[in-house]
Amino acid sequence: MREAQGFITLVCRGDRSTMSTAGKVIKCKAAVLWETNKPFSIEEVEVAPPRAHEVRIKMVATGICRSDDHVVSGHIVSPFPVILGHEAAGIVESIGEGVTSVKPGDKVIPLFIAQCGKCRRCKHQESNICMKNDLPSKYQGKLQDGTTRFTCRGKSIHHFMGTSTFSQYTVVDEISVAKIDAASPLEKVCLIGCGFSTGYGSAVKVAKVTQGSTCAVFGLGGVGLSVIIGCKAAGAARIIAVDINKDKFAKAREVGATECVNPQDYDKPIEEVLQEMSNGGVDFSFEVIGRLDTMASALLCCDKSFGVSVIVGVPPDSQILPVDPMLLLTGRTLKGAIFGGFKSKDSVPKLVTDFMAKKFPLDPLITNVLPLEKINEGFDLLRSGKSIRTILSF
């Protein structure tokens, strides 16, 4: 028993061995959140082997996303204790019975938006919200069979969005993992697991930004910058970046913004400023913050007869956005999407292939790389606005 546990510890430290861990419990480090508004605690956890139609993954890199912080603050309700993290990339360690889409050694990206391929939503051309998803309105913190694979201090630890990537090893359902290019750099393409795809897809797939159009992007974090990259790729002529943090403007221009605006520089509502800048209203607007006031401003800044406004930011829990029906009756469109509208299992491998073909950049989005043990420092950087994306390495 000691020998097995010792080997598992070596594996978690990245050492090589020919002995297989398949079918065994793995002991490794994970960042556990025991309750809201508390720091993460680096713990030794036990990760059970994958059951039928499940995959155990050795994590290589994971990003810190605002959605994770919403759980810390209590804005997204999740059962506790929990291992968060949902934007990541790793290598398959072992598979359960019946798994056919991946094998041990494959490079993969866990999918917080599952794709079973069989339900009515998966079969719908425009939908990407599989009916088997564990989404914010009903987080259960369990895998598809209703159980968990994590144990710490003798207690069962909940999963998060079916991924739980703040752990050196995790177990996901087969419908929640995608095999990707074996040559892809996992420390970069991990962003395709959430932030980049969410922003990029909101522009090219959800809004369907048109050539020569004018766009306004509210919020210049990693997802907002990815929206800008998408708008540029779609051929937008003007991309107006909106944020109260001027320090983010240089990066916004680097990835494609043509103008940058700070609402605090004006004595009138930002929607009026944008209407004046765009001769009556922008063609497309994107709210990438998650605030009700900026959602309203993003809608109002659109052209009243054909403007399209997309909600990208995760709104506060149990909040209602009041909308005057007249704003829509004249022709505006208000819409939203999770994960940029992409069908995850189908689209993630293609997005990785596009990145490898240099169709879009990811490097400008990564500002910090830290070890898992410094996860709390990474969240401090996020909250202070001093980072775009912090990557935790294993």
Query: Which contiguous run of DSSP H or E holds residue 382?
Result: helix 375-384
Cα separation, 371 vs 10, whole angstroms:
17
> Does residue 13 carry a pLDDT above 60?
no
> Greater confidence, 20 or 121?
121
From the candidates 28, 67, 94, 202, which is the catalytic residue? 67
**Residues 362 and 335 sit within 8 Å (Cβ to Cβ):** no
Query: Which contiguous run of DSSP H or E holds residue 215?
Result: strand 214-218
From the candidates 86, 116, 260, 297, which is the catalytic residue? 86
How many CB atoms sit inside 10 A of residue 374's CB? 18
The HSE-up count of residue 324 (CA atoms within 13 Å, CB side) is: 8
Instruction: Give me the pLDDT at residue 134, please.
Output: 66
Query: Tens of pLDDT along 236-291?
Result: 999 999 999 999 999 999 999 999 999 999 999 999 999 999 999 999 999 999 99
pLDDT band at 11 (very low <50, low <70, confident <90, very high): very low
pLDDT band at 3 (very low <50, low <70, confident <90, very high): very low
Cα separation, 154 vs 176, whole angstroms:
27
Instruction: Give me the pLDDT at residue 263, please.
Output: 98
pLDDT band at 77 (very low <50, low <70, confident <90, very high): confident
Instruction: Average the pLDDT over 125-147 and give the result.
Output: 85
Cα separation, 277 vs 281, whole angstroms:
8
Instruction: Average the pLDDT over 50-69 and give the result.
Output: 97
Distance between terminal CA atoms of the chain? 25
Q: What angle do CA 201, 176, 315 make, to 5 degrees?
A: 50
**Residues 127 and 121 sit within 8 Å (Cβ to Cβ):** yes
Instruction: Give me the pLDDT at residue 4, please.
Output: 30
Among the listed residues 204, 164, 236, the one whose alpha carbon sits nearest the alpha carbon of residue 351: 204
Instruction: Average the pLDDT over 40-44 and give the result.
Output: 98
Instruction: Give me the pLDDT at residue 137, please.
Output: 52
116 given a catalytic annotation: no
Query: Tens of pLDDT along 288-317?
Result: 999 999 999 999 999 999 999 999 998 867
Instruction: Give me the pLDDT at residue 75, please.
Output: 86
Instruction: Give me the pLDDT at residue 363, please.
Output: 97
Kindly list the structural domains of the chain, giving each domain's residue range(s) and its CATH number in brackets, ordered by start.
26-193+362-393 (3.90.180.10), 199-338 (3.40.50.720)
Among the listed residues 131, 157, 169, the one whose alpha carbon sits nearest the alpha carbon of residue 55: 169
Instruction: Average the pLDDT over 199-214 and give the result.
Output: 98
> Does residue 89 carry a pLDDT above 90?
yes
DSSP letters for 322-358: ---HHHHHTT-EEEE-SGGG--HHHHHHHHHHHHHTT
> Does residue 235 carry a pLDDT above 50?
yes
Q: How many residues does the chain have?
A: 394
184 given a catalytic annotation: no
Cα separation, 319 vs 294, whole angstroms:
14
Instruction: Give me the pLDDT at residue 385, please.
Output: 87
Instruction: Tell me: cis bond preceding 371? Omega within 30 of 0 counts.
Output: no
To the nearest whole number, what is the mean pLDDT of the chain? Answer: 93
Percent of the chain with pLDDT over 70: 93
194 given a catalytic annotation: yes
From the candidates 12, 28, 65, 260, which is the catalytic residue? 65
From the candidates 12, 116, 190, 194, which is the catalytic residue? 194
How much of the chain is in helix, strand and coil states, percent to nearest 5?
35, 25, 45
Cα separation, 323 vs 75, whole angstroms:
22
From the candidates 12, 28, 70, 94, which is the catalytic residue? 70
